Every structure is written in structure tokens, then in C-alpha cells.
Structure 1
Amino acid sequence: MLLLAALLIILLGAELFTNALEHLGERMGISEGVTGSVFAAVGTALPETMVPIVAILAGAASGNAALGADVGVGAILGAPLMLSTLALFLMAMFAAGRRGWKGTLQPEKSGLRRDSSWFLLCFGLAVGALFLPGQWGLARVAVAIVLVLCYFLYVLQTMRASAALVADGHDTEAGAPLYLRRLGLGERFASIILQLALGLVAIVLGAELFVRGVEHLSHWLGISALVLSMLIVPLATELPEKINSILWIRRGKDTLAFGNITGAMVFQGSLLPALGIALTDWRPSGPVLVTATVTLLAALYLAWLIRSGRALRSGQFLVFGLLYAAFVALTL
């Protein structure tokens, strides 16, 4: 019941947040690529982001730092894994429902290449940091700083590409009215910011409840908090929000659908590993290595699909589903 209550609070907060982000993107006159890869990706990644932050800090404050670190590292590595495998597979599966498995997917390619390249760079650095000795404190801090800088460089590059994409007709349009409009507050800039703040508060409260639920569930099932976090936290906190990508792909908005996933991959593959490197042991245990390996394989396959020059087809994304199934089997 605690996990379900936390999930409902998180989803409510994320829904408020992403709805406000769409209106912010429309008001700013930026492209679908920026809204999908930056605004929507960050908004839908916030639940997954808050869980490891709350877990690590709460664990340290309560004197149970090891458990907090396990939940945190599991959530940090589980998110890129889920996004690069299961989320892409489900999006393609729902696209195939209307277009067939041989139907083409037509996202804006330059943004997709940019997201893929930055994710491989950032996540590759994060995986390499797993093998740095614990006493190399300065080197670990340096890697964490580089990952943060990489994400901000990625955002800067994405924003710079926005003007040309808007000129080509890839501008953002909000899919639904601002929720606070129903309370008579209109769709003013102040209303958008207020809804963003309300969404963030709900996400933080839900994340704290979710961490408590995972702790008790791991004891009850006899499964380590690390493994449980890798399997459950991304599915519960982030996958429901990727329904946005399913809705967008079914409406023919392929750029927003892909950007919502690949942009979140860059966010989750850079800023969150930086947090894990700085605040936890960040060591290469068995489950950690399995997760990192499957994620890198999926990312390399996606990069090959993008750069092959051939049309993207739904059937090609069956591989991502198989990779996720292999991860679950190996982990359990």
C-alpha cells in the first residue's frame, strides 16, 4: 500500500510537471526536439532522479548508509537500462499496432544522433569510473564533474539547434490545456511556474515514501535492495511516464516520442551517475556489471541503427525487448 500510494503521488506530480513543461516550451517558441529531449525528458526523469537522491541522503542521515547506497545505485543504473531497452521496445510495439512491424519510424535524425552520442560518452565514463580504486578520490570527483559539464554542454548544443528546427516546422505545441487553468488561473507564465513547483513538491514527497516501501519489500522478499531497485524503481517511477512516448508515437509525433526517451537517457546517464560516483562506493559488483553491460549493448545497437542510413522500422526494436528480458533473467 505504501508503494502504491507513493507511485500515485509521483505520477500526479510528474503529470503536473510535464504538462507545465509543454506549455513552457510552447510559450518560449522552441522546437519539439528541445521540448522532448530536454524539457519532457527532465520532467519525466524527475521521479527516478529523486529516488536515489532521497535514498542516499536519508540513509546517511539515519545511520543506514549501506542500504541507502544500494537503493540509490540500483535506481541510478536501472533507469538508463530500462530506457534504452524496455521503453524503446514498448514505443515501437505500439507504433507497430498501427503501422505494422515493417512500418517506418520518422524522428528528426540530427537530434537522435546527438542524444545517442552524448549518452554513449557519458554512460561510458560512468562505467569506467566503476573500476577506479576507492582511494582515488580526486579522480572520482573529476569524473563526476566532467559528467555534469557534459550534460550542460549537451543542453547548450540542443538549444542552439532549436531555431533551425522551428523554422522547419518542428515547433512545440502543448497537447492539453494547463491544469491550473481549470482553477481560473489562466495560462500565464506565473501559472506555469506555480504548476511546475507543485509537481516537483509532489515528486519529492512520493520519492521519500517509495524509498521506505522498497526497504521493507526487500526484507520481505529476501532480495537485496540493490537488485530490487534495479528492477522495480525504474518500472514504477519512470516507465509510466514514458506513456507520453506511446501517445506521441501513435499520434505521429515521432520526434517528441523518441526525444522523451533518448533525452532522458542522456540525463540519467550523466547527472545521476555523477551523484553516485560522488556519494557512494560506486563499485563493480555482479548485478552492477550485468546492468552496465546490457545498457551499453542496447545503446550501441541504437547508435548503429541511427547511423546506418536505413529507415528505422518497428521490427528492428524487438532487439531491445530481448535485451531487457536477458537482463531480468541474468539479474534474478
Structure 2
Amino acid sequence: MLIDSGLILIGLILLYYGGDFLVTGSTRLAKRFKISPFIIGATVIGFGTSAPELAVSILASLHGSGELALGNVIGSNIANVGLVLGLTAMLVPLTIDGRRLNEEAPSLIIASLLITALAWDNNLSRIEGGIMLVLLLAYLWRALSKNDSSDVELEEDGQFLENKGPAVQSALVLVGLVMLVFGAEWMVDGATGIAREMGISEWFIGVSIVAVGTSLPEIVSSIIAARRGHGEMAIGNVFGSNIFNILLVMGAASSIQPLTIKVNIHPDLIYTTALTCLLILLIRLGHIISKRDGFLLVACYGVYIGLKGIGVL
């Protein structure tokens, strides 16, 4: 119990400072290269915070566990929308420019519909994996080519390494990402150990502690970005992370080893697509994710976990 408590404490410290370094470095790079905060969130931060999902799904693919590989992505995407943006908006309402939403929302919706269509037959082939990887390259090219530097007016907290060049700021981003990944892993390990000692079931541990734990990098980086006034960076983080989870994580996993899923995944595929569409609708109504919207998104995640618990999904 003492060791597990120590892991949780160390994990929290790593998460806090890792998120701080990541957002600080990303903000300075955005200012330096005149890249919009949304694009930084959707590419650099989105890719980095998807690293745990990428590792898990590739390992699952190599071990022939299609359920774990795909379940990891679907569960993570639902948590990103419900928990990450929901919790962040409950603390700090998030705004996004209407034009930016019109440009980026279709990519997220298309990616969600794509994984639903490709995985509907409970199989993902190498060809389908290759298609997703090609679409990932197209997404990255489009995101960077559509960058609008006119709104790059970012504020930041603190003076740590403020006057250093882009190489140092890039290193700060990398260090922040590594700290986030290890912080999340150690916190999950500690919380799981304590839960097991208390006799809590493995299923509950999986759908609560582990699910939240794998989303901790996104939660921390989004909250820090939002509290510093970078709402678009927080939204871009989730948009990018969910797109990377589908196109990169599932694309790489199924390209390495074709995936076969032996359980009924149709309800989960429908739920994640519906939740994505709800998110886009909420933002489109006012170009803001309000505190009330945040509560609704968190409630949707709670409903998903509850329905899974009673076997409806």
C-alpha cells in the first residue's frame, strides 16, 4: 500500500510538471514559427498524448489480441471527448473560431465513420491499415498547409527557459511528453495496486482507473492549456489525439498484423461516432464548450461506463 501510494504521488508530480513543460514548449514553438494553437494541439500534442495508445495497440496486435487493440482506441476516444474535454470545459469554458471548426471537424467525423465502416465486419486487414496510414499523411499535410498564423497571440506563464531557441523548446516538449507518459503509467499502477488490495473487481479497475489513466496526458495538457487561455489548443489536442488514435494507432496495428475481433463491437462503434457528432454539434451551436456542455459530456461518458457495466453495450 505504501509503495502504491508513492507511485501515485510521483505520478501526480510528473503529470503536473510534464503538462506544464509540454504546453509551455508548444506555446513558444507556436509563437516562434507562427503556427496556430489549434494546429499545435492537433499535431504535436495530439500525437504525443496518443503515444500510450500506440504502444498498447501495437503490442496487442503482435500478440493477436484484436479486441484489446481496437478496444483501446475506442475506449480512449470516448474518454477523450467525455472526460478530457468534459472535465476541462467544466473548469474553463473552451472557445474555437467558427472557421477553424468548419475546416477541422470534417476530418474527425470522417475518421470516426471510417473506423466504424472498416471494423463493422469485426476485421481489419493490412490493406485497410495501409489506407488509414495514407489518410493520416493526408491529414497532416492538410493541417499544416491550412495553418493560419494570423491568430497566433499566445500568453504563457513563467520564465523557465523563456529566451532559449527552438531546439531547447522542442526538447522541453519532448521531456514534457515523456513525463506525462510515465506519470500516467505510475499513477495507474499505484491506483490499481491499491484497488486490488481493497478487493475491487478487475473489470471496475479496467473501465475506471485504467481508462482514466490512459487519458491523463490529454486531461492534464488540455486543462493547463485552457487555464492559460489556449482553448483552441485544448480542443485541437482532443481532435488530433482521436484522429491519431484511429489513423495512426489502428493503421499501424492492423498493418503489422490483421486484426480479428470476436466480440460484438457495433454498439461501441456507434456510441463513439455519436459522441463525436454530439461534440461537434455543441461547439457549432455557439463556438464554445460551456461548463454545462462539459457536464453533459462527462455524463455521456458515465452513461457509457454504466451501460457497459450492466451488459447493455
Determine helix, strand or coil for the equivalent of 1:175: coil
Q: Do residues 35 (structure 1) and 40 (structure 2) align?
A: yes
Q: How big is the shift at 1:29? A: 1.7
- Give, in whole Å, the separation in 2 of the partners of 1:199 and 1:50: 18
Aligned position for 2:71: 74
CA-based RMSD of the aligned residues comes to 3.8
Contact 1:92/1:317 (<8 A) preserved: yes
Alpha carbons of structure 1 residues 223 and 297: separation in structure 2 relative to 1, 3 Å: same
Q: How big is the shift at 1:331? A: 1.4
Aligned position for 1:151: 136
- Give, in whole Å, the separation in 2 of the partners of 1:257 and 1:116: 14
Q: Show structure 1 runs of 5+ residues with no match.
A: 97-104
Percentage identity across aligned positions? 21
User: Which of 154, 175, 181 is the matching residue for 1:173?
Assistant: 154
Per mean C-alpha deviation after superposition, the further-off stretch among 30-39 and 208-217 is 208-217
Alpha carbons of structure 1 residues 109 and 267: separation in structure 2 relative to 1, 3 Å: farther
Alpha carbons of structure 1 residues 73 and 232: separation in structure 2 relative to 1, 3 Å: farther
Q: Do residues 269 (structure 1) and 274 (structure 2) align?
A: no
Q: Do residues 223 (structure 1) and 197 (structure 2) align?
A: no
- Give, in whole Å, the separation in 2 of the partners of 1:178 and 1:148: 39
Alpha carbons of structure 1 residues 149 and 142: separation in structure 2 relative to 1, 3 Å: same
Alpha carbons of structure 1 residues 6 and 121: separation in structure 2 relative to 1, 3 Å: farther
Q: How big is the shift at 1:284? A: 5.9
Aligned position for 1:283: 261
Q: Show structure 2 runs of 5+ residues with no match.
A: none
| 1:290-329 Cα distance to aligned partner (Å, 9 max, x none) | 4322211111222334555x55462345432232111010
Q: How big is the shift at 1:70? A: 5.1
Aligned position for 2:100: 111
User: What amino acid does structure 1 have at the position aligned with 2:276?
Assistant: A
- Give, in whole Å, the separation in 2 of the partners of 1:174 and 1:120: 31
User: What amino acid does structure 2 have at the position aligned with 1:166?
Assistant: S
Q: Do residues 23 (structure 1) and 28 (structure 2) align?
A: yes
- Give, in whole Å, the separation in 1 of the partners of 2:301 and 2:108: 18
User: What amino acid does structure 2 have at the position aligned with 1:110?
Assistant: R
Contact 2:79/2:301 (<8 A) preserved: yes
Determine helix, strand or coil for the equivalent of 2:130: helix
- Give, in whole Å, the separation in 2 of the partners of 1:311 and 1:195: 31
Aligned residues: 300
Alpha carbons of structure 1 residues 211 and 307: separation in structure 2 relative to 1, 3 Å: closer
Alignment of 1:115-126 (within 5 A): 115-126=104-115
Contact 2:53/2:249 (<8 A) preserved: no
| 1:142-175 Cα distance to aligned partner (Å, 9 max, x none) | 221222222222222222222xx322xx115362
- Give, in whole Å, the separation in 2 of the partners of 1:70 and 1:9: 33
Q: Do residues 329 (structure 1) and 286 (structure 2) align?
A: no
User: What amino acid does structure 2 have at the position aligned with 1:85?
Assistant: G
